[in-house]
Amino acid sequence: MTIVTDTGTWVRRNRMTVTPLLFLLPGILFFVVYVISPIFQSFGISLYDWDGLGAGEYIGLDNYRELMTDRAFETSLRNNVKWLVLYLLAIPAGLFIALFLNQTVMGIRLYKSLFFFPFVLSQVVVGLVFSWFFLPREGLLNAMLGLFGLEPVNILGDPQLATYGIIVAGLWPQTAYCMILYLTGLNAVDPEQIEAGRLDGAKGWRMLWHVVLPQLKPATFIAFVVTIIGALRSFDLISIMTNGGPFGSTRVLSFLMFEKALGEYGFRMGYGSAIAVVLFLIMLVFIGYFLWQMWRDERAARR
């Protein structure tokens, strides 16, 4: 019989530190190289005038100074705000559809899946589907407006309307996402509390507001996170539906950045990075808030 002693190799003695380290190593390596360090590099590049090929020229904050007077930047920023505010409509809309579908009738599962499945489509396809839907001559929307005797509208061709048209397209999958979050949340709502609420005479809106919504808080939090991040990340739809037009009226920061750095107007990597930094700082406000919330939950759940 062998006597177990604690005098194994160094690795064996320190296995509770070495093991997690080794397991983390490849993941961290990938993540640092491709995600963390590029963030800092972009901050650096934003101080240069660089076409992406040769050596760049250090110009300090000139790129940021130029941003202040760039009309395209101003339009983009304004559109980002529109996206942010209107995209949040996906949350109540998703809750509404979830409440509508939270029944147990024949075939309801299929209905739920079919309501959800726009989320599975790529944004590129959503963009194409909606740009054809909005077409002034061939589009179904105008065919339907025609039935009511209304004049056709060219939504994506009108600088006043185009951004709203794209946001509607974006809301379609986003609402589906929020709906599925709420459907899952509703599934877990405590039936005893609902019964207690009923006994207290609560129903309809009051029940929803005072009894159900508080229990849906985790779902609402995730819906907020994904909707806000989604709104600020909008790029695909704009690129597909209008390519920033008409007259640059549908640009947002993410799109403007791409256009400046890789688009047809030349490779201004430094200027593009400056735009990316601004977008990043805007998002950082939200990311910071989300992380703080999650951090609090983690602390509370510490075992």
Partner 1 sequence: MFPTPIQKRSRAVQITYQSFLPLALILWLLPLLAVMMFSIRPLSDFSNGNYWGLPSSFDLFSNYGRVFFESNMPRYLLNSLMITLPTVVGAVALSCMTGFALGIYRFRGNLLIFFMFIAGNFVPFQILMVPVRDLTVNMGLYDTKTGLILFHIAFQTGFCTLFMRNFIRALPYELIEAARVEGVAEWRIFWFVVLPLMKPAIAALAVLIFTFIWNDYFWAIVLTQGPGSQPVTAGITAFNSQFVAQYHLMSAGSIVAALPPVAMFFAMQRHFIAGLTLGAVK
Find the part of the chain contacting partner 1 (CB under 8 A) among 11-19, 58-66, 83-91, 155-163.
Answer: 11-19
Which positions from 127 through 156 interact with partner 1, judged by CB under 8 A?
A: 128-130, 132-133, 138-140, 143
Find the part of the chain contacting partner 1 (CB under 8 A) among 58-66, 83-91, 159-167, 274-282.
Answer: 274-282
Cα-based distances in Å from 85 to 230, 235, 254 = 12, 16, 17
Count, residues near partner 1 per rule CB under 8 A: 104
In whole angstroms, how close is the CB of 108 to partner 1 at the nearest point? 8
- E strands, the chain, in order: 48-49, 57-58
Cα 237 to its chain centre, rounded Å, is 12
Residue 58 contacts partner 1 per CB under 8 A: no
Find the part of the chain contacting partner 1 (CB under 8 A) among 58-66, 83-91, 152-160, 188-196.
Answer: 188-196
**Member of 81, 85, 196, 294 binding partner 1 (CB under 8 A):** 294
Residue 208 contacts partner 1 per CB under 8 A: yes
Residue 113 contacts partner 1 per CB under 8 A: yes
Measured torsion, CA atoms of residues 210, 212, 218, 222, in degrees rounded to the nearest 10: -100
Find the part of the chain contacting partner 1 (CB under 8 A) among 18-26, 68-76, 82-90, 154-162.
Answer: 18-26
**Member of 90, 162, 181, 231 binding partner 1 (CB under 8 A):** 181
50 vs 248 by CB, closer to partner 1: 50
Residue 196 contacts partner 1 per CB under 8 A: no
42 vs 249 by CB, closer to partner 1: 42
Residue 161 contacts partner 1 per CB under 8 A: no
C-alpha to C-alpha distance for 83 and 44, rounded to whole angstroms: 29
Task: Tell me the one-letter amino acid at 237.
Answer: L
Q: Write the DSSP string, 278-294.
A: HHHHHHHHHHHHHHHHH
Task: Compute and round to an integer the Cα radius of gyration of the chain.
Answer: 25
Helices 62-69, 71-87: axis angle to 10 degrees equals 80
Please classify residue 153 by burial: count the beta carbons closer than 10 Å to its beta carbon, then call 0-12 exposed, 13-18 middle and 19+ buried.
middle
